[in-house]
């Protein structure tokens, strides 16, 4: 009987220890899943959706201070994009058919104002211009803390997803306030953003 009790106690101790060990591991999981989340968009011309003009890659990482940062890489390579600067934003809906279906700029929250020219450059989805050279090659590298790829209030993967838009004109960032076209005007290219599993 004493042996039976001893074995029982040992088993109980083992179970408690296992729970403690796995419990500790479980608490580490969120941090691991918050970094190295990758998303991509294949960017297509708004004039002809068959024309693939570039690729957007987003990668979330956690800074030393614990801030979620998203590294942004946009590559463009198509004759259909004119040389010069072009506005780039995350727009509020994962729909490029047609490009206007991507709606306004991604700007979640209780005071959301997605109006492209009317609330610029204060949207969460606002990004710097991309510069395209004479050979129609362009490359944008930047980092934003305005959006996340993981779940949460700033997640671009909300109920209707998000898209990237490249505009025909440069973004002036609307220094005089609302002015038609100050956020880049017409839409040149669009890509639905998808998480890479
Ligand atoms: Cu835009």
Using one digit for the tens of pLDDT, what is the confidence trace for 5-29?
565 555 444 444 444 444 444 445 4
Q: How far, in Å, from the CA of 184 to the mean position of ligand 1? A: 7
CA dist 158 and 174 (Å) reads 27
Q: Are residues 88 and 111 in the same domain?
A: yes
Mean pLDDT per 10-residue segment, the chain (197 residues)? 55 46 47 82 97 98 95 96 97 98 97 96 98 97 97 96 98 96 98 95
Q: Are residues 79 and 135 in the same domain?
A: yes
Q: What is the pLDDT of residue 16?
A: 43
Q: How far, in Å, from the CA of 150 to the mean position of ligand 1? A: 22
Q: What is the pLDDT of residue 8?
A: 52
Q: How far, in Å, from the CA of 115 to the mean position of ligand 1? A: 10
Q: What is the pLDDT of residue 34?
A: 85
Q: How far, in Å, from the CA of 109 to the mean position of ligand 1? A: 18
What secondary structure does DSSP assign to the chain, as a single string? -HHHHHHHHHHHHHHHHHHHHHHHHHHHHHHHHHSSEEEEEEEEESS-TT-EEEEEEEEEEE-TTS-EEEEEEEEE--TTS-SEEE-EEEESSS--SSGGGG-SB---STT----TTTTTT-STTB---EEE-TTS-EEEEEEESS-BSSSSTTBS-STT--EEEEESS-----TTS--TTTT--SEEEEEE-EEE-
Q: How far, in Å, from the CA of 6 to the mean position of ligand 1? A: 69
CA dist 93 and 95 (Å) reads 6
Using one digit for the tens of pLDDT, what is the confidence trace for 52-63?
999 999 999 999
Q: Are residues 22 and 74 in the same domain?
A: no
Q: Are residues 81 and 107 in the same domain?
A: yes
Q: Quick one: which of 111, 92, 97, 90 has its CA closest to 171? A: 90
CB 126 within 8 A of CB 137: no
CB 71 within 8 A of CB 143: yes
Q: Quick one: which of 136, 138, 126 has its CA closest to 87? A: 126
The domain that holds 101 is classified in CATH as 2.60.40.200
Structural domain boundaries enclosing 125: 35-196
Q: What is the pLDDT of residue 33?
A: 74
Q: Are residues 66 and 52 in the same domain?
A: yes
Q: Are residues 66 and 136 in the same domain?
A: yes
Number of domains making up the chain: 2
Q: How far, in Å, from the CA of 125 to the mean position of ligand 1? A: 8
């Amino acid at each position: 009987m004493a042996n039976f009790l001893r074995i029982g106690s040992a088993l109980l101790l083992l179970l408690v220890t296992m729970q403690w060990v796995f419990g500790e591991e479980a608490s580490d999981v969120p941090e691991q899943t918050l970094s190295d989340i990758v998303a991509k968009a294949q960017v297509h011309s708004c004039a002809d959706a068959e024309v693939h003009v570039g690729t957007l890659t987003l990668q979330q990482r956690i800074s030393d201070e614990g801030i979620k940062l998203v590294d942004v890489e946009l590559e463009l390579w198509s004759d259909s994009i004119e040389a010069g600067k072009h506005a780039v934003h995350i727009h509020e809906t994962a729909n490029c058919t047609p490009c206007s279906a991507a709606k306004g700029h991604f700007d979640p929250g209780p005071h959301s104002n997605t109006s492209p020219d009317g609330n610029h450059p204060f949207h969460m989805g606002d990004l710097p211009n991309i510069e395209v050279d004479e050979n129609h090659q362009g490359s944008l590298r930047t980092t934003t803390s305005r959006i996340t790829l993981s779940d949460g209030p700033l997640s671009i993967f909300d109920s209707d997803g998000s898209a990237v838009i490249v505009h025909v004109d440069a973004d002036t960032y609307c220094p005089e306030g609302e002015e038609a076209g100050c956020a880049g005007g017409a839409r040149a290219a669009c890509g639905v953003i998808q998480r890479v599993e």
